[in-house]
Amino acid sequence: MKAVHFGAGNIGRGFIGALLSQAGYETIFVDVNGELINELNQKRSYQVDLAGTDRSLEVTNVSGLNSINDEQAVIKAIEEAEIITTAVGPNILSVIAPVLAKGLLHKKEKGNVIACENMVGGSEILKNHILEHADAEEKDWIIENIGFPNSAVDRIVPDQHQEDLLTVKVEPYFEWVVETTAIKGGRPEIKGITYVDDLTPYIERKLFTVNTGHAVAAYLGKFHGYQTIKQVMDDPAIKEKIRGALQESGAVLIEKYKFDEEVHYEYIETILSRFENPDLSDEVTRVGRAPIRKLGPNDRLVQPAVSYLEYVKEDPVRLAEVIAAALFYENEKDEEAVELQKLITEKGRINAFKEVAELDSDHRLVKAVEAQVHHLEK
């Protein structure tokens, strides 16, 4: 069995690539990093260390292809692969689409492409990018024979500097959920995948808990002068505020998707314990980067806060406080943080928030955030 995985970075090697290899696939990594590709081809294996433990696993039967210099070989590998996966980042899906289109059109049998990105509908978005590089007949063939099942992925991979280029540290916990409705042919036999008929609840659970929780820790932590997520989690008062924000977002999930309340609150505690792992501690500036995107209408703070107003009919106090703290977030090395503060200087915090979150002045969340901004300014 053969798998092609786009993205040989830490997530690619430490999560998806590792599971593919453990499932018995010959795994071919495709990347633009020539140094990584050369190391993969030389060693044909690498080590994955499990953070917070003394355990590690050896990933074998791997190799690499440079997508810039080895395009024909990449096309050939796609043609022969039973499964193709990606972990390249949302903005790179359009970049890899042309070579994927070429490779898929050479396939003789049905296959599946799974985008394992931190985004909603990643595989469907990648499919649309690929179809832009096909004519009408080719589009029909791809739609008929290639599945693009959406997926949700969750595994913390901390910022790290390893002596060995290929060694990667990841947390022991992971979740890889794949939607069955778009699969073509049989389901890939990969231990670690959870197959579901409807992915939406799992995507929102991850977004509203893991991503929201991380953002809460980052923005409250930065406001209170902490440098790492571990330092934030060691502050009982802030930890309780993180728990409160996740209970607000959790109330939305419980009402919207009928999650079991007790089970979901246990899930929240699991997420909090993951953040406390000292081997996973990140800089608050890395977790909080790109604040404009994270304050957007469909992202981890505003979306659950607006949904809380809709489903619970109350003001989201903790989420509003975090949003207010994010409006004070400064980091001169972060382009979006600089842009956000420039907008705030020009228009004020609340007007800047309304613009970024695409909310009207009379929206209840705007009023709640404004109250929290005044509180933080004292």
pLDDT value, residue 27: 98
Q: Is 7 annotated as a binding residue?
A: yes
CATH of 2-198, one of 3.20.20.10, 3.40.50.12240, 3.40.50.720, 3.90.400.10: 3.40.50.720
Mean pLDDT of 329-354: 98
pLDDT of 160 > 90? The answer is no
DSSP string covering 9-39, please?
Answer: SHHIIIIIHHHHHHTT-EEEEEES-HHHHHH
Confidence (pTM): 0.82
Mean pLDDT of 173-199: 95
- 254-288 pLDDT tens trace: 999 999 999 999 999 999 999 998 888 789 999 99
Return d(Cα 341, Cα 327) in angstroms, integer.
8
Q: Is 3 annotated as a binding residue?
A: yes
Q: Is 55 annotated as a binding residue?
A: no
Mean pLDDT of 205-231: 96
Mean pLDDT of 333-349: 98
What's the N-to-C CA distance of the chain in angstroms? 62
pLDDT value, residue 196: 96
- 82-124 pLDDT tens trace: 999 999 999 999 999 999 999 999 999 999 999 999 888 999 9
Q: Is 13 annotated as a binding residue?
A: yes
Chain-centre distance for alpha carbon 198:
18
pLDDT of 75 > 90? The answer is yes
pLDDT value, residue 157: 87
pLDDT of 320 > 90? The answer is yes
pLDDT of 323 > 90? The answer is yes
Q: Is 34 annotated as a binding residue?
A: no
Which residue is it, tokens 């024909």? Answer: 72
* CB 193 within 8 Å of CB 26: no
- 226-249 pLDDT tens trace: 999 999 999 999 999 999 999 999
In CATH terms, the fold of domain 201-377 is: N-(1-d-carboxylethyl)-l-norvaline Dehydrogenase; domain 2 (1.10.1040)
Q: Is 10 annotated as a binding residue?
A: yes
- 10-26 pLDDT tens trace: 999 999 999 999 999 99
What are the distances in angstroms from CA 353 to CA 279, 345, 375? 34, 12, 16
What residue segments make up the domains of the chain, in order of their start? 2-198, 201-377
pLDDT of 378 > 90? The answer is no
